[in-house]
Amino acid sequence: MTDSAQRPRIAVSACLLGEEVRYNGGHKRHRWLTDCLGDYVDFRPLCPEYEIGMGIPREPIRLVSRDGAVQAETHDGSKNFTDPLRRLADDYVPETEQWDGLILMQGSPSCGLFRVKLYDERGFPTNSTQGAFAGRLQSRSPLLPMEEAGRLNDSHLRENFLTRVFLRQRWRQSNPAQSAAALIDFHSRSKYLILAHSQSAYKTLGQLLSDLSQRDPAKVAREYQTRVAEALAHPAPRGQVTNVLLHIQGYLREHLRSEQRQSLREVIDKYQAGLVPMIVPLTLLQHHLDTHWKDDTYIRRQFFLNPYPEQLGLRNAV
């Protein structure tokens, strides 16, 4: 999965990669991105403010609520960059089809996705909103996994974001929209990953693909992709993950001795209680699968068991 041709493509605020493009000529290098994640993905740096010609260094901007609309402007209101930032986002939309994720700088009036300060015309903070570039791009490319760098310090948000990124990369690579058979195969491998996030989505998606003989695979694939993105928009609940672990345990029941089954169940129960991270029951399950299910079977092909490179260690903390 880490081969150059197979690596996910993630667009990133350039300052997070150490590029000195911030308004003050500095950067906000994110060590986990550059020193860890960068070994497994390809980064595509971007800086909206620099790309629209604001220069480095530059006068900082902020978001102001003016006449019922949010404006990105300099502090004295003499320059307005709202339209250029939104046009740049529109220009990026075609390219996002080849991206698997987007990581943006938190708090930025151009790039912030959540809780960016919004000011009134007198200069007082009144509320929060999205950055001018980020909000526009998210509205135009709603299926693209997006996250703020600051939120990636949360282990659950980090794990969920990378799950979505690598699943999107697998989608692009396999192109399930090409045929009904390809779409069904992708869903077959995604079932437990979807179930870990939403039982209702698991059922709905199964119904969506129940009869494809008279339907356009491309249209069904688009609806499928949308519903999967919605299902995986939030971290998987511990109870749902436990349900999946028990499903996998069921495949091993006839191959394990009584004490092995009991030991496995105890570890799963500890995970459900929040006493051990997900990696603990998964490691034990994987050991038994390697011992008893060595062939390329349905269960071993599940993306849930290998959602991203294990070297990232994401399941050690969730």
pLDDT at 235 over 70: yes
User: Which pLDDT belongs to residue 296?
Assistant: 65
Instruction: Specify burial of residue 159 (Cβ count, 10 A radius: 0-12, 13-18, 19+).
Output: buried
Is 1's pLDDT higher than 70? no
Mean pLDDT of 76-94: 98
Is residue 279 helix, strand or coil?
Answer: helix
Sheet of 125-129, strands arranged across: 69-74, 61-66, 116-119, 125-129
% of the chain residues with pLDDT over 90: 92
Tell me the pTM. Answer: 0.95
235-271 exposure pattern, b = at least 16 Cβ within 10 A, e = fewer: bbebebbbbbbebbbebbeeebeeeeeeebeebbeeb
Bridge pairing between strands 101-104 and 9-13: parallel
Continuous H helices in 31-131:
31-35, 48-51, 82-96
% of the chain at pLDDT higher than 70: 98
Please report the pLDDT score of residue 2 as a whole number.
Answer: 47
CA distance 23 to 252: 57
pLDDT at residue 57 in the model: 98
Coil, helix or strand at residue 265: helix
Q: Name the average pLDDT for the chain.
A: 96
**Tell me, what DSSP letter sits at residue 317?**
-
Which residue from 85, 77, 82, 11 is spatially nearest to 41, judged by alpha carbons? 11
Amino acid at 239: G
pLDDT in tens, 2-61: 444 589 999 999 999 999 999 999 999 999 999 999 999 999 999 999 999 999 999 999
Q: Please write the tens of the pLDDT for every residue from 93-135.
A: 999 999 999 999 999 999 999 999 999 999 999 999 999 999 9
Residues 130-144 have a mean pLDDT of 98
Six token digits for residue 161 = 């974001």
Q: Which residue has the tokens 């308004």?
A: 23
Judged by DSSP in three states, 102 sits in strand
More confident residue, 240 or 212: 240
**What average pLDDT does range 59-81 have in this prediction?**
96
* Residue 157 predicted with pLDDT over 90: yes
Does residue 293 surpass a pLDDT of 80?
A: no
Q: Three-class SS of residue 237?
A: coil
Higher pLDDT, 254 or 130: 130
CA distance linking residue 190 with residue 201, whole number of Å: 12
Q: What is the 3-state secondary structure (H, E, C) of 78-146?
A: CCECHHHHHHHHHHHHHHHCCCCEEEECCCCCCCCCCCEEEECCCCCEEEEECCHHHHHHHHHCCCCCE
